[in-house]
Amino acid sequence: MASPNLSEIVTTTLRNRSGKAADNITNNNALLARLKKKGSIMPVSGGRTIVQELEYAQNGTYQRYAGYQVLNIQPSDVFTAAEFDWKQAAVAVTWNGLEIDVQNTGKEQIIDLLEGRIKNAEKTFANNLNYDLFSNGTADGGLQIGGLQSLIADAPTTGVVGGIDRSQWAFWRNVKYSGVTDGGGAVSSTNIQQYMNNLWLLTKRQSDTVDLIIADNTYFQLYWQSLQSIQRITSNKQGEAGYMDLQYMGADVVPDGGVGAACPASHMYFLNTDYIKYRPSSKRNMVPLETVGSINQDASVRLIVWAGNLTLSNAQLQGVLIA
């Protein structure tokens, strides 16, 4: 039988780390770090779906007139909402009686054992959530987060995002720029800046423009190489997220590369993060559930759970550069 004080130790240890775990996830992902800085991490208290309001049209009553000319006062339907399904994820922290009562006796030793496993669970959560944030949302039968490949698609004229059919509604389509199809040649260090210029112009609306560009290693290196002849200096604004960034038209350009890279190959995402929101559940944002003991094993388990999704409120100001 497990130590009498184990439940309290487990509860205290997990609860003390749950907030830190959520912070670690946001601080170690370039997109989430930017959303956190902008106040775009917006927990949701509940509901059947995650509802994201959006403006899909301009007010249709604007008109030029003279004197006593009759003005158009008809109501304009300019607002709608996208609905994103809840997505869930969990990691289990387990232990058995031998580990607790024999091999790790004493409060400090038990805490050391739990800390190690909880830290591993946090890293597992962070790595997999980062992967999901770049996903198309189809893994595990659609249980995955609808990540950047879904929100900012390579084929933006097809598919349903947030309950809105992109084949029917042009306002809900992001911009896609293909080096071969739209630019006339494969992306290289000699043409990547021109392609980026073209895409940047297509995603700009007055002063409303891209502020974060995330690329896979290949496209980041091509852009980096295109700058080295003029000795471009990097900054460390994303240093807290483990990235060094370059600059492009005021936007940070960061790589999602190395071990565990999640950005799809030969992709560069142009993000206007004012319209991207990270919406975790306020009740299940890396929260530990109650400890459960097995009925036929000398073992116990406690789940760390998360629920939420990534949402979008304006697709036309987002873009992706592909091969």
CATH code of residue 199: 3.90.1690
The proportion of the chain whose per-residue pLDDT surpasses 70, expressed as a percent, equals: 83
d(CA 199, CA 175): 8
Instruction: Look at residue 43 and tell me whether its pLDDT is greater than 90.
Output: yes
Q: How confident is the model at residue 271, as a pLDDT?
A: 98
Residue 114 placed within a domain: yes
Residue 92 placed within a domain: yes
Mean pLDDT of the chain: 85
Count of the separate structural domains present in the chain: 1
Instruction: Look at residue 280 and tell me whether its pLDDT is greater than 80.
Output: yes
Residue 207 placed within a domain: yes
d(CA 50, CA 209): 26
Residue 81 placed within a domain: yes
Q: How confident is the model at residue 217, as a pLDDT?
A: 93
- The residue range of the domain holding 230 is 6-322
Q: How confident is the model at residue 299, as a pLDDT?
A: 84
Task: Count the Cβ atoms, other than its own, within 10 Å of residue 293.
Answer: 13
Q: How confident is the model at residue 25, as a pLDDT?
A: 73
d(CA 56, CA 277): 17
In this predicted structure, which of 17-26, 90-99, 185-194 has the lowest mean pLDDT?
A: 17-26
Q: How confident is the model at residue 252, as a pLDDT?
A: 94
- Collapse the DSSP code of 251 into the 3-class scheme (helix H, G, I; strand E, B; otherwise coil) and give the result: strand
Residue 24 placed within a domain: yes
- pLDDT tens-place string over residues 237-263: 554 444 557 999 999 999 986 666 789
Residue 267 placed within a domain: yes
Instruction: Look at residue 108 and tell me whether its pLDDT is greater than 60.
Output: yes
Q: Using 50, 70 and 90 to split pLDDT, how confident is the model at 94? A: confident
Q: Using 50, 70 and 90 to split pLDDT, how confident is the model at 213? A: very high
Residue 163 placed within a domain: yes
d(CA 15, CA 21): 10
Of the ranges 33-42, 75-84, 290-299, which is most confident?
Answer: 33-42
**DSSP string across 263-284:** SPTTEEEEE-GGGEEEEEEEEE
Q: Give residues with Cβ within 8 angstroms of 16, minimum separation 6.
A: none
d(CA 294, CA 280): 30
The arithmetic mean of pLDDT across residues 36-52, rounded, is 93
Of the ranges 33-47, 55-69, 179-193, which is most confident?
Answer: 179-193
Q: Using 50, 70 and 90 to split pLDDT, how confident is the model at 234? A: low
5 phi-psi bin (left φ>0, alpha ψ -120 to 50, beta other): alpha
Instruction: Look at residue 291 and tell me whether its pLDDT is greater than 70.
Output: yes
- pLDDT tens-place string over residues 161-193: 999 999 999 999 999 999 999 999 999 999 999
Q: How confident is the model at residue 261, as a pLDDT?
A: 77
Residue 1 placed within a domain: no
